[in-house]
C-alpha cells in the first residue's frame, strides 16, 4: 500500500470541526446543542439572490472566463467605488471563495520555505493554506488585555528576514472581532514599505462593524499600491457561505496576471454562484442596516453575559461576529468536549471552538475559546446561562484545581 | 515593488486559452470563428438540472459538509454501482470540479520533488497542477501512428525511481480521444502493483464512448484497490462545466481522509452546484443515448473530413470529443494564429488548440492540433472546409517550404 505524502500527513485537521462527533453524539442523546462554534450565520440570504437563482434560464451551464464573468467584475468594482475603495475591473480576479483567493495570493507571491507574518490568534485555516503552499507562518501575538489590538511594530521587526515575503491580516478580525484603526494600518503600511513586503488583507467581514465604527481598507493605504492584496468573499456579507465566490484584488498587475495562471488551471469559478453573487450586488442598504443592528444586539448580549460569569473575560469586539473568550479552565478544548459529552443544563449544551487552533503556538490559546454569535437572542441568552452553569460544576476549573491542590498539598499549583 | 514567486513565474499559461486575443480580434473584424479549441460542449444541460435550480428554496445559502452533501454522495455511489463500478458513499469526496479532485489527489500522495508519470499528449492543465504542487511530470510518449494507444510498459519502467509516486491516465483521453482497453489497463495494473505506485485515473469522459465501446474503470482492477484513485466530474457528463462539481474517489481510506483535510481548509464545495449535480443523477438514459449518437456523428464528419485534406492525419478516436490532428505545417501554433489573424474563407475561420501544450516535450506536438468536435454538424462541415482552404494557401506548409527551399537552394530543408 503506497504511503501518503508528508505534506498531507502534516496538513492540520480543522480545529473548528474537530468536536463535531461529540456534538453529534450529544444530539443523539436528545440534547439541544447551541452552535457557537462555526461562522455559519442564520441570517437570511438577500431576496434578490434567491430570485436570481429561481430565474435561472441558460440552456448550457457553461464555463465562465477564468477570471470570472466580466459583468460581475464590473459590478464588483462599482461596489468598492461606492465605498471609496479604489478598485477597477481589471484589478479583480473572481475566485472559488475567499479561500481560493488567499491560496492564489500566497502561491503567486511566495515560494516554499518563504515566511508570512500573521498576528495571532488568526483564522485557523491560514495554517492549512500555508501547509498547502509549503510556506512558513511566523506569528506575532496579540493579547486579550487590549482586545487583540495590532501588536507593536517592534514585535514584528525581529521576525523579518530574507525569507519574509509578507504580512497577512484579517480586518475586522476572525477570531478576535477586532477592527484595526486607520492609525494601526498606517503603522503596517510604513513597515511594509520599509521592507518591501506584501500586505495581504482578508476583509470579508467589512460590512460587520458596530457602534458606528467605519472599516478602513488596505486598498486606501497610500504608497503601497503594488504591495497590497485584498481578499474578499460574498460568504458572510450576504450570508451566502455556500456560494463559494470570492475575489483576489490588487493594483499589482503582475500579481493579478500570475494568479490568473493558477485560475486558468482550474478553468473557472462556479457559474451559478457568480450569477448569485452578481445579483447580490443589488442588495438594498436596508438589509445591511438591519443585519448590523441584529449582530450588534447579539454581541451585547454575548459579551455582557459572558463577562458576568465569574472568572470569564471577553473583550468587546467592534466587528465581525466572533469574540474570543478566556475561561477559568485549565484546558479549553477539554472543557468544550466535556460540555458536549458530560454536561447539560435543562437538556441543552453549548458547542464552542477551542482557541488553541487559532494560534501557531497552541499554548497561547489553551484557556480561550472562540464564540460565534450567529444565533438569535433567545438562544444566545440560553447559551450563556448554560455555559455559566457548566463552569460551576466543571471539574477542570482553575480555582477548583487550586483548591484541590491546596487540600492535597501546597506545592503543586 | 515586491517580486512574485518563482512558482508563479513558472506556472504555465493555458495553451488552450492563449490564442483568445487573436480570436477576439478576428470577431471584431466581423469574421465568424468556429471554436474547435475548447471542451465546452454546445449540448443542452439535462432539463432535470435546470428544474432543480429553478426550484431552489433555501432561506440561507449555507456551507455544505467539507466532503460534500451526504445525500449527493449516496446518490453518486448509486450511479457507480449501477455501472458495476464498486464505489461506496464513504469512498467519495465531493470537490470543486475534477480540477480540485486531481490537485487534492496529488497533494495527498506526493511531496514536492516527487515524480508522476503521465502518457503524453495529456490534458494541458496537468502541467499546471504539477507546478502548483511542486511535483515533477515524467512523460511517456504515445504516438499518432497507433492512435495514441498506451505506450509500451517497457517505456514506463526506465522512468521509475525512488521519487516516482504514481501514474496518471485520462480515459477516455483528453486530448487523444483514445479509449484504453481492459488489456492495456491490466498491464498498468501489474506495473502499479509491482512498484506499489498510485494509479490516478481521470475518467470524466466515461459516458462518451463510440461504436459500442465500453469503458473500463480503474476501480474494477483487482488487487490494487489501495493504489487506485478515481477523478470524476459532472462537467462533461451532463454538459454542466460551469457547475464546478467533481469527486475524488478511492478505497484507500488514508487517501480520502488526507484529502478531506485539504477540503476542510477550503470549507465546502459550491452548495448550489451540488444541488444541481444531485439533480443530474436523475438524467434519463435517453439523454445519454442521444448525446452519444450526436457526438459519434460529429466525430465521423470531423475525422473523415480531416483525413481527406492532403497531408492531414487524424486517427479515429473511440471516446471523449476530441481528436489529435497532424497538419502539414512547420509550426501548428503559428498556423492556428495565422488562421485567426490572416485568413478567412467566406468570412469565417477556425480556432484550434495547438498541441505542443499537451506534451511535456513541446517539440513532440509541434505539427499537431487538438480539435474538439463540440459544434453542430453544419458548423463542423464548414470548419473542415475552411481548414482545407486555409492549408492550401498557408505560407508555412511543409511541402510549400520544401518547394521554396528547393527554389532558393538545396541545403536548407
Looking at every residue in chain B, the average pLDDT score rounds to 94
pLDDT band of B20, cuts 50, 70, 90: confident
Neighbour tally for A408: CB within 10 Å: 9
Mark yes or no for CB contact A60/B54 under 8 Å.
Answer: no
In a domain, A227, yes or no: yes
Chain A partners of B108 at a C-beta cutoff of 8 Å?
4-5, 8
Q: What is the pLDDT at residue B39?
A: 78
A381 neighbors A301 (Cβ within 8 angstroms): yes
Q: Closest partner residue to B198 among A2, A43, A97, by Cβ?
A: A2
B212 neighbors A32 (Cβ within 8 angstroms): no
Mark yes or no for CB contact A107/B53 under 8 Å.
Answer: no
Q: Which residues pair with A353 in a beta bridge?
A: A370
In this prediction the ipTM stands at 0.93
Nearest to A234 by CA among B246, B273, B61, B276: B61
Mark yes or no for CB contact B96/A41 under 8 Å.
Answer: no
pLDDT, average across residues B200-219 = 97
Mark yes or no for CB contact A11/B109 under 8 Å.
Answer: no
Q: What is the pLDDT of residues B160-180, one digit of tens each?
A: 999 999 999 999 999 999 999
Residue A133 has pLDDT above 80, yes or no: yes
Residue B50 has pLDDT above 60, yes or no: yes
Q: What is the number of helices (H) and of strands (E) in chain A?
A: 14, 12
Residue B209 has pLDDT above 90, yes or no: yes
Same domain for A127 and A85? yes
Q: How far apart are CA B266 and CA B263, in angstroms?
A: 5
Q: How far is B343 from chain A (nearest CA, A)?
A: 26
Which of A19, A122, A244, A268 is most worth mutating to test chain B (most B CB atoms within 10 A of its CB)? A244
Task: Concatenate the DSSP letters of all residues of B297-323 into one string.
Answer: HHHHHHHHHHHTSTT-B----SBTTEE
Mark yes or no for CB contact B9/A258 under 8 Å.
Answer: yes
Q: What is the pLDDT of residues A316-369, one digit of tens each?
A: 999 999 999 999 999 999 999 999 999 999 999 999 999 999 999 889 999 999
pLDDT, average across residues B333-337 = 96
Task: Concatenate the DSSP letters of all residues of A72-123 into one string.
Answer: HHHHHHHHHHHTT----GGGEEEESHHHHHHHHHHHHH--TT-EEEEEES--
In a domain, B25, yes or no: yes
Which of B231, B265, B372 is most worth mutating to test chain A (most A CB atoms within 10 A of its CB)? B265
Mark yes or no for CB contact A270/B265 under 8 Å.
Answer: no
- Say what percent of chain B tops pLDDT 70: 97
Nearest to A262 by CA among A116, A110, A123, A135: A110
pLDDT band of B400, cuts 50, 70, 90: low
Looking at every residue in chain A, the average pLDDT score rounds to 94
Chain A partners of B196 at a C-beta cutoff of 8 Å?
1-2
Q: How far apart are CA A13 and CA A21, in angstroms?
A: 14
pLDDT, average across residues A271-288 = 97
Mark yes or no for CB contact A107/B2 under 8 Å.
Answer: no
Chain B partners of A129 at a C-beta cutoff of 8 Å?
265
pLDDT band of A401, cuts 50, 70, 90: low
Q: Which residues pair with B323 in a beta bridge?
A: B371
Q: How far apart are CA B241 and CA A181, in angstroms?
A: 43
| 3-state secondary structure at position A405 | helix
∠ CA B87-B246-A14, rounded to 5°: 90
The residue segments making up the domain with residue A296 are: 6-44+286-408
Mark yes or no for CB contact B62/A112 under 8 Å.
Answer: no
Same domain for A242 and A120? yes
C-alpha distances in angstroms, A289 versus A45, A208, A286, A360, B304? 14, 10, 5, 36, 64
Q: What is the pLDDT at residue A361?
A: 87
Same domain for B370 and B229? no
Q: Which residues pair with B354 in a beta bridge?
A: B369
A106 neighbors A345 (Cβ within 8 angstroms): no
Nearest to A130 by CA among A166, A95, A161, A175: A166
Chain B partners of A114 at a C-beta cutoff of 8 Å?
5
A53 neighbors A272 (Cβ within 8 angstroms): yes
Q: Which residue has the cell 476583509?
A: A203
Same domain for A317 and A238? no
The nearest alpha carbon in chain A to B199 belongs to: A2
Q: What is the pLDDT at residue A403?
A: 52
CA atoms B130, B90, B278, A73: torsion sign? negative
pLDDT, average across residues B41-49 = 95
The nearest alpha carbon in chain A to B59 belongs to: A44
Same domain for A304 and A210? no
Same domain for B23 and B55? no
Q: How far is B410 from chain A (nearest CA, A)?
A: 44
Q: Interhelix angle for A20-28 vs A332-341, to 10°?
A: 20
Chain B partners of A134 at a C-beta cutoff of 8 Å?
112, 134
Are β-strands A198-202 and A164-170 bridged in parallel, bridged antiparallel, or unpaired? parallel
pLDDT band of B140, cuts 50, 70, 90: very high
| 3-state secondary structure at position B367 | coil
Chain A partners of B241 at a C-beta cutoff of 8 Å?
61-63, 267-268
**Which of residues A51 and A401 earns the better pLDDT score?**
A51
For residue B66, give every residue at least 6 positions away whose Cβ sits within 8 Å of its Cβ, in sequence order, or none. Answer: A14, A17, B260, B263, B264, B266, B267, B268
End-to-end CA distance of chain A: 48
Q: Closest partner residue to A53 among B40, B56, B255, by Cβ?
A: B56
∠ CA B114-B116-B121, rounded to 5°: 145
In a domain, A360, yes or no: yes
The nearest alpha carbon in chain A to B165 belongs to: A2
Mark yes or no for CB contact B13/A264 under 8 Å.
Answer: yes
Q: How far is A23 from chain B (nearest CA, A)?
A: 15
Q: How far apart are CA B146 and CA B149, in angstroms?
A: 6
Mark yes or no for CB contact B14/A66 under 8 Å.
Answer: yes
Mark yes or no for CB contact B242/A272 under 8 Å.
Answer: yes
* Of the candidate ranges A401-410, B7-16, B90-99, B384-393, the one whose mean pLDDT is the lowest: A401-410
Mark yes or no for CB contact A45/B60 under 8 Å.
Answer: yes
The nearest alpha carbon in chain A to B192 belongs to: A2
Q: What is the pLDDT of residues A162-184, one digit of tens each?
A: 999 999 999 999 999 999 999 99
Q: Which three cell numbers stand for residue B241?
A: 462545466
Domain C-terminal end among A280, A295, A317: A280
Residue B405 has pLDDT above 70, yes or no: no
Task: Concatenate the DSSP letters of all residues of A295-335 into one string.
Answer: HHHHHHHHHHHHHTSTT-B----SBTTEEEEE-SBS-HHHH
Same domain for B230 and B192? yes
Chain B partners of A45 at a C-beta cutoff of 8 Å?
58-61
Instruction: List the strands of the sheet with A164-170, edge to edge.
Output: A92-95, A246-250, A228-233, A198-202, A164-170, A115-120, A136-141
Q: How far is A309 from chain B (nearest CA, A)?
A: 32
Residue B401 has pLDDT above 60, yes or no: no
Same domain for A239 and A109? yes
CA atoms B277, B281, B284, B287: torsion sign? positive
Residue B53 has pLDDT above 70, yes or no: yes
Mark yes or no for CB contact B8/A271 under 8 Å.
Answer: no
Mark yes or no for CB contact B1/A226 under 8 Å.
Answer: yes
Q: How far apart are CA A266 and CA B269, in angstroms?
A: 14
Residue B407 has pLDDT above 70, yes or no: no
Q: What is the pLDDT at residue B403?
A: 52
Chain B partners of A255 at a C-beta cutoff of 8 Å?
4
In a domain, A326, yes or no: yes
Are β-strands B228-233 and B246-250 bridged in parallel, bridged antiparallel, or unpaired? antiparallel
What is the per-residue burial (b if ≥16 Cβ within 10 Å, else e) of A285-322? eebeeebeebbbebbbbbbebbeebeebbbbebbbbbb
In a domain, B233, yes or no: yes
Which of A61, A165, A196, A204 is most worth mutating to test chain B (most B CB atoms within 10 A of its CB)? A61
The CATH number of residue B276's host domain is: 3.40.640.10
Q: How far apart are CA B63 and CA B279, in angstroms?
A: 18
Chain A partners of B9 at a C-beta cutoff of 8 Å?
258
Chain A partners of B53 at a C-beta cutoff of 8 Å?
53-54, 56, 272
Q: What is the pLDDT of residues A198-241, one digit of tens each?
A: 999 999 999 999 999 999 999 999 999 999 999 999 999 999 99
Q: Closest partner residue to B2 among A109, A134, A239, by Cβ?
A: A109
Mark yes or no for CB contact B61/A44 under 8 Å.
Answer: no
Q: What is the pLDDT at residue B17?
A: 73
Q: Which helix (H) or strand (E) holds B349?
A: strand B348-351
Q: How far apart are CA B200 and CA B277, in angstroms?
A: 23
Q: Which helix (H) or strand (E) holds B79?
A: helix B70-82
In a domain, A221, yes or no: yes
The nearest alpha carbon in chain A to B236 belongs to: A62
Same domain for B246 and B214? yes
Q: Closest partner residue to B273 among A1, A58, A273, by Cβ?
A: A273
Residue B394 has pLDDT above 80, yes or no: yes
Q: Which three cell numbers stand for residue A378?
A: 433567545
Mark yes or no for CB contact B2/A59 under 8 Å.
Answer: no
Domain C-terminal end among B280, B313, B340: B280
Mark yes or no for CB contact A2/B114 under 8 Å.
Answer: no
For residue B204, give every residue at least 6 positions away whose Cβ sits within 8 Å of its Cβ, in sequence order, or none. Answer: B98, B170, B174, B231, B232, B233, B235, B236, B237, B246
Q: What is the pLDDT at residue A408?
A: 41
Domain count, chain B: 2
Nearest to B192 by CA among B226, B155, B217: B226
Residue B348 has pLDDT above 50, yes or no: yes
The size of the A-B interface in CB pairs under 8 A is 263
In a domain, B413, yes or no: no
Q: What is the pLDDT at residue A295?
A: 96
CA A351 vs. chain centroid, Å, equals: 18
Residue A412 has pLDDT above 70, yes or no: no
Q: Which three cell numbers stand for residue B158?
A: 526506465
Residue A275 has pLDDT above 90, yes or no: yes
CA A51 vs. chain centroid, Å, equals: 28
A151 neighbors A140 (Cβ within 8 angstroms): yes
Mark yes or no for CB contact B99/A266 under 8 Å.
Answer: yes
Same domain for A165 and A73? yes
Q: How far is A80 from chain B (nearest CA, A)?
A: 23
Q: How far apart are CA A325 and CA A312, in angstroms?
A: 7
Domain C-terminal end among A263, A280, A297: A280
pLDDT, average across residues B139-165 = 97
Chain B partners of A128 at a C-beta cutoff of 8 Å?
261-262, 264-265
In a domain, B268, yes or no: yes
Q: Closest partner residue to B266 among A60, A100, A273, by Cβ?
A: A100
The nearest alpha carbon in chain A to B49 belongs to: A61
Same domain for A275 and A311? no
For residue A256, give every residue at least 6 positions away whose Cβ sits within 8 Å of its Cβ, in sequence order, or none. Answer: A90, A91, A93, A248, A250
pLDDT, average across residues B307-334 = 97
Residue B99 has pLDDT above 70, yes or no: yes
The CATH number of residue A363's host domain is: 3.90.1150.10
Q: What is the pLDDT at residue B370?
A: 96
**Which of residues B259 and A405 earns the better pLDDT score?**
B259
Cite the beta strand spans of B171-281 per DSSP E: 198-202, 228-233, 246-250
Which of A44, A245, A267, A271 is most worth mutating to test chain B (most B CB atoms within 10 A of its CB)? A267
Q: Closest partner residue to A7 among B111, B132, B226, by Cβ?
A: B111
Same domain for A218 and A82? yes
Amino acid at each position: 500500500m503506497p504511503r501518503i505524502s508528508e505534506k498531507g500527513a502534516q496538513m492540520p485537521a480543522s480545529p473548528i470541526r474537530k468536536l463535531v462527533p461529540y456534538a453529534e453524539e450529544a444530539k443523539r442523546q436528545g440534547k439541544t446543542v447551541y452552535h457557537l462554534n462555526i461562522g455559519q450565520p442564520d441570517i437570511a440570504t438577500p431576496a434578490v439572490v434567491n430570485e436570481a437563482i429561481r430565474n435561472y434560464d441558460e440552456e448550457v451551464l457553461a464555463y465562465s472566463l477564468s477570471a470570472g464573468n466580466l459583468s460581475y467584475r464590473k459590478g464588483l468594482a462599482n461596489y468598492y467605488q461606492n465605498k471609496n475603495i479604489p478598485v477597477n475591473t481589471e484589478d479583480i480576479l473572481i475566485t472559488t471563495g475567499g479561500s481560493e483567493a488567499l491560496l492564489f495570493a500566497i502561491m503567486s507571491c511566495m515560494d516554499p520555505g518563504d515566511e508570512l507574518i500573521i498576528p495571532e490568534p488568526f483564522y485557523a485555516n491560514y495554517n492549512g493554506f500555508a501547509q498547502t503552499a509549503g510556506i512558513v507562518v511566523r506569528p506575532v501575538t496579540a493579547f486579550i488585555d487590549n482586545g487583540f489590538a495590532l501588536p507593536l511594530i517592534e514585535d514584528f521587526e525581529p521576525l523579518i528576514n530574507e525569507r519574509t515575503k509578507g504580512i497577512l491580516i484579517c480586518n475586522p478580525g476572525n477570531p478576535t472581532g477586532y477592527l484595526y484603526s486607520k492609525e494601526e494600518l498606517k503603522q503596517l503600511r510604513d513597515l511594509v514599505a520599509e521592507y518591501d513586503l506584501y500586505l495581504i488583507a482578508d476583509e470579508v467581514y467589512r460590512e460587520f462593524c458596530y457602534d458606528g465604527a467605519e472599516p478602513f481598507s488596505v486598498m486606501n493605504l497610500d504608497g503601497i499600491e503594488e504591495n497590497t492584496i485584498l481578499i474578499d468573499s460574498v460568504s458572510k456579507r450576504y450570508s451566502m457561505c455556500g456560494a463559494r465566490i470570492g475575489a483576489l484584488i490588487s493594483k499589482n498587475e503582475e500579481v493579478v496576471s500570475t494568479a490568473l495562471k493558477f485560475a486558468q488551471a482550474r478553468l473557472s469559478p462556479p457559474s451559478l454562484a457568480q450569477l448569485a453573487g452578481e445579483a447580490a450586488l443589488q442588495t438594498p442598504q436596508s438589509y445591511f442596516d438591519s443585519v448590523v443592528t441584529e449582530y450588534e444586539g447579539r454581541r451585547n448580549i454575548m459579551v455582557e453575559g459572558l463577562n458576568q460569569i465569574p472568572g470569564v473575560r471577553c473583550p468587546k469586539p467592534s466587528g465581525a461576529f466572533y469574540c474570543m473568550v478566556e475561561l477559568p479552565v485549565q484546558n479549553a478544548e477539554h472543557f468544550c468536549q466535556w460540555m458536549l459529552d458530560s454536561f447539560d443544563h435543562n437538556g441543552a449544551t453549548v458547542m464552542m471552538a477551542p482557541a488553541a487552533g487559532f494560534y501557531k503556538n497552541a499554548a497561547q490559546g489553551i484557556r480561550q475559546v472562540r464564540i460565534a454569535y450567529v444565533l438569535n437572542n433567545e438562544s444566545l441568552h440560553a447559551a450563556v446561562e448554560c455555559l455559566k452553569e457548566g463552569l460551576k460544576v466543571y471539574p477542570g476549573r482553575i480555582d477548583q484545581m487550586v483548591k484541590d491542590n491546596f487540600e492535597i498539598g501546597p506545592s503543586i499549583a
